[in-house]
A and B are shown apart, each in its own frame.
Chain A
């Protein structure tokens, strides 16, 4: 990876500012990190061109939209399911309530994040959509209680 060590403290400060609020103008970011506006704009441009900033996402309060429950699932594939990784992946990424699918190494094979209107709705999604996936074995659910930190404090 050629990107290593090419980004300095100032770049990190810019990234933190934009992660907090992606709508900030180059001028606002420049003031926060102590750069001139053109210099800051050039750095933001470069971070975008290098693929460090991969666009922006809108953040919605899902509770206000009726999604009260977020659940993280650990999924183990059944021994026979390992032959059909692609079938599993294709099917699971197509479920609209599944926001996040990560292939992991450890006690589980996949991590999923599911949003649901309430626990009854979650149970319906789990039974009808998740447990019927091809190759699925053991599933563990952990309900999200609170998000204590979701922005990088990395310096």
Chain B
């Protein structure tokens, strides 16, 4: 694998800080001229280091005011518990994140709802019937203090 040099890292830092910039703006902020900057971005994209851009969506603005993190422990005596649980949970539109973990809990998922009443319905009618749940813990989001994909690049 090719090692990134300092110029590549500078470009990535600019892009992480502001995701909306055009190629020309990135070049300017990274102190490069446009063509070589674009070539580096293109190469890092082809190499799979830059995966793309995605819109940041404020779900609360859309009327989804409630976000609950569910931490699920599965019944591991069932041989296909993981696969069957994940396949079923993935289909639920209210589940916006689904991750498998190594630790005290097996799966965590983010569920969004319009309000607590709506959440209670989702929880009873859609979450509890999911297969192979041994234990379920809920954390209700109060506020988000930091959320960025920044990493020490």
Residues on A facing B (Cβ under 8 Å): 1, 3-5, 7, 15, 18-23, 50-62, 64-65, 67, 72, 74, 89, 92-93, 96-108, 111, 115, 140-155
Contact = CB atoms under 8 A, between A and B. Distances in A.
Contacts of B18: 55
Nearest to A104: B139
A7 B62 contact: yes
B86 interface: yes
B57 interface: yes
Interface string B65-97: 100010000000000000000100111111111
A59 B148 CA distance: 10
A47 B88 CA distance: 31
Interface residues of B, number: 66
Interface stretch (B31-39, B44-52, B123-131): B44-52
Given A21-B52, A59-B53, A100-B144, 9 more contacts: A3-B63, A60-B153, A93-B145, A97-B151, A99-B149, A104-B142, A111-B69, A145-B101, A153-B91
B24 interface: no
Chain B's interface: helix, strand, loop or mixed, by majority? Answer: mixed
B95 A97 contact: no
Which 8 residue pairs are nearest across A and B when measured between Cβ atoms? Answer: A142-B103, A106-B139, A18-B55, A22-B53, A4-B63, A149-B98, A104-B139, A142-B101
A140 B104 CA distance: 8
Nearest to B90: A149
Nearest to B9: A65
Nearest to B26: A58
A144 B103 CA distance: 9
